[in-house]
Structure 1
């Protein structure tokens, strides 16, 4: 029996690594000698560094950076075992979770720390980068990141603008003379699953600004700033940021990466599956097990478990998904390639109880064990079981 276990984290509960371990232990109760290929999953957001380091090897790096409100914090990124590929989650440097609700203000929040992480990795010899967008507290168009890498954004008096989204509307010029020369040698792959433009009704400020603390007045000011930034970039560099799908991701970081660092925007799960070489590793598998905290219409929009199901379907491998909660409209997931979906919650309990890491681990293990007992019974002829 060969089983591919590729599970995303159960956010707020257990990591993809712990979830994979629980499922693997459950499988081994029925199949002690099973060949289990465990590939922790992520879609470019939280858990991406951990998942890729677990799957490919490498090391975690800790360094000090400016946090979203310019207060120094410790941030973590990964360097894969090739020694030249850095994996960075932008939320580690400028994440919304690091700002209390009453302090959230995208006019002040900066992506400067993201640039510091990139510069640190460059200093350690990295020239390939995997960047997970998402979860930022910022709406600065990525200028903070670019400032940390040596770009200067100037106001009408020729002075460098301050940090944060408040600076965007003041930009009248761009100076790239002090940019890190090694950037020319770097290649960036960006995990991004949104296609919002930079400004306008479907842009960064209007769609994502409110959840980052922006009032209606702030949203208008930020949108005006992003529009000005894009116009200056178009006039001086000949780059049309507004035409880039995903430019509005992470408060405009998508625009900075694509326009200034010539990055490739990719589906998060597709990028992760490519780096972990999942297609090759699933060859010959009898079944694949995937899952996440909740299977619902967001899963159907292309989240990690669906990516696993689609890839497995190409090779005729059945896929079982395990989750804390499963949407009543599970048939939609079945039609998209998920063979079957099961909730691991086995008795009435509160959400807090279900999300307790120990409870979630045991429920995953128990469900996997019961599922593979059934598979074993179906797979083994009745007369052999009686002997």
Structure 2
């Protein structure tokens, strides 16, 4: 087989949460494929949908990792990073003020803030970024993006003209927002929200009702936060509160839409576009994607579905490799996949499957090469 006629395989998995990062998943699959199909042209393109792992996916693709110190969701300084290529920066909320960044995992549903996210955005603009992709997901706070805006120079004032501290609950006292000292780079920057949810800010499907319980909010705290965000929306822009994606990441989407002029796009579509994925599909023989669990939630804009859709549009078969699947064979076919390999079929014990994921993925890669590239 000549190199020109060798199969070209694109490995574009998301992370296997709690087990392996997307680059690690791609590396394990590549080792298995290469063991069987030594002539295969294997391209590793780990992906993400805007949530945790997004920055690492871009760093793996050759983008520059930019280190910065910023406050976490409860104000404790921590090292974080964003990805940069020329004038474009990819900032991941989860890496700065996400649930995983809480000190010792201590939840603070009323006081947690997105202030640190604004610090990272300012750093990117200070260093020449004029096109910022903000990945939303995994937030530890429900502050409507207020902290992010405060870090960018906004002053949130009460009826007496006193400046409010950061946090979600205090927004019940917000009366006006002084934008006069906001970062000058905002006017020169395009903000894109990479987001896979379409929740509004308020109501039964909003940021508080759907997401605040996982951030530690009980019934009384839910009432406090809903009231606070309702007031915040009144002060900043009620129309923006109703927009799809305004409720993403504890309402950070709302703050970005209303004040930064951001636009919402499918997270995986933005990621694939920036990674040059469409161009790779032109000569591809097979696309392999996947995540830890392929289930009903996956069907609503998660990374593997977006990868599969792009492959189908280019008439390239797409295979899912997952830790487990809760979908039926018919649902997998309806989603567009030409096949699905689950680690659970090799190792049914979930704990062992997660612990041995790299070795199992290498076995799957080898099996895939035998069955799909022969």
CA contact (8 A) 1:22 1:362 kept: yes
| Distance in 2, Cα, partners of 1:333 & 1:92 | 31
Of 344-353 and 137-146, deviating more is 344-353
Pair 1:137–1:180, CA change in 2 (3 A): same
Q: Which residue of 2 aligns with 1:270?
A: 269
| Distance in structure 2 (CA, Å) of the matches to 1:259 and 1:2 | 44
Q: Sort the Cα spacing of 1:52 and 1:102 in 2 relative to 1 into closer, same or farther, 3 A.
A: closer
1:359-380 alpha-carbon deviations (Å, 9 max, x no partner) = 2111111111122123354xxx
1:156 equivalent among 159, 163, 169: 159
- Contact 1:30 1:376 survives alignment (8 Å): no
Q: SS of 1:7's equivalent?
A: coil
Distance 2:105 2:35 in 1: 49
Q: What is the correspondence of 1:137-156 to structure 2 with a 5 Å cutoff?
A: 137-156=140-159
Cα distance between partner residues in 2 of 1:305 and 1:197: 24
Aligned partners of 1:96 and 1:135 also within 8 Å:
yes
Residue in 2 that maps onto 1:30: 36
Q: Partners in 2 of 1:334 and 1:226 — Cα distance?
A: 41
Q: C-alpha offsets along residues 101-145 of structure 1, whole Å, 9 cap, x if unaligned?
A: 883122110110000001111121111111110111101111100
State the Cα distance separating 1:288 from its structure 2 match: 1.2
Q: Residue 290 of structure 2: SS of its match in structure 1?
A: strand
Q: Deviations over 1:250-303 (max 9, x none)?
A: 111000111100111011111111111211111121111111111121222221
Task: Report the alpha carbon displacement of residue 347 of structure 1 after superposing the two structures with TM.
Answer: 4.3
> Which residue does the alignment assign to 1:59?
64
Distance in 1 (alpha carbons) for counterparts of 2:287 and 2:204 = 41
Matched with 1:255 is 254
Q: What is the Cα deviation at residue 221 of structure 1?
A: 1.0
> Which residue does 2:48 correspond to in 1?
42
What CA distance in whole angstroms lies between the structure 2 residues aligned with 1:17 and 1:151? 38
Unaligned residue ranges in structure 1 (runs of 5+): 378-387
Report what 1:381 is aligned to: none
1:161-200 residue pairs with structure 2 within 5 A? 161-200=164-203
Partner of 2:212: 209
Pairing 1:82-97 to 2, within 5 Å after superposition? 82=86, 84-97=87-100
Cα drift, residue 98 of structure 1: 2.6
CA distance in 1, matches of 2:216, 2:333: 38
CA change 1:44–1:102 in 2 (3 A) is closer
Call closer, same or farther: CA 1:184–1:102 in 2, change over 3 Å. Answer: closer
Q: CA deviation at 1:206?
A: 1.4
From 71, 74, 87, the equivalent of 1:69 is 74
Shift of 1:154: 0.4
Q: 1:291-317: CA deviations, max 9, x gaps?
A: 111112122222111111111112221
Q: Which of 119, 122, 127 is equivalent to 2:125?
A: 122
Max Rg structure: 1
Pair 1:372-2:369 in alignment: yes
RMSD: 1.6
Task: Give the Cα–Cα distance (whole angstroms) in 2 for the partners of residues 87 and 328 of structure 1.
Answer: 32
Q: Which moves more between the two structures, 306-315 or 256-265?
A: 306-315
Q: Measure the CA separation in 2 of the matches of 1:192 and 1:172.
A: 29
Partner of 2:224: 221
Q: SS of the counterpart of 2:197?
A: coil
Structure 2 Cα separation of the partners of residues 162 and 308 of structure 1: 42
Structure 1 distance, partners of 2:89, 2:314, is 31
Encode CA deviations 1:317-361: one digit per residue, 9 max, x unaligned: 1111111112251321211210110113454453222112xx211
Query: Structure 1 residue 155: deviation in Å?
Result: 0.4
Q: 2:328 matched to 1:329?
A: yes
1:279 equivalent in structure 2: 278
How does 1:280-319 map onto structure 2 within 5 Å? 280-319=279-318
Shift in alpha-carbon separation, 1:92–1:328, aligned structure 2, 3 A:
closer
Contact map agreement 1:233 1:240 (CA 8 A) in 2: no
Partner of 1:385: none
Q: List runs of 5+ in structure 2 lacking aligned partners.
A: 1-6
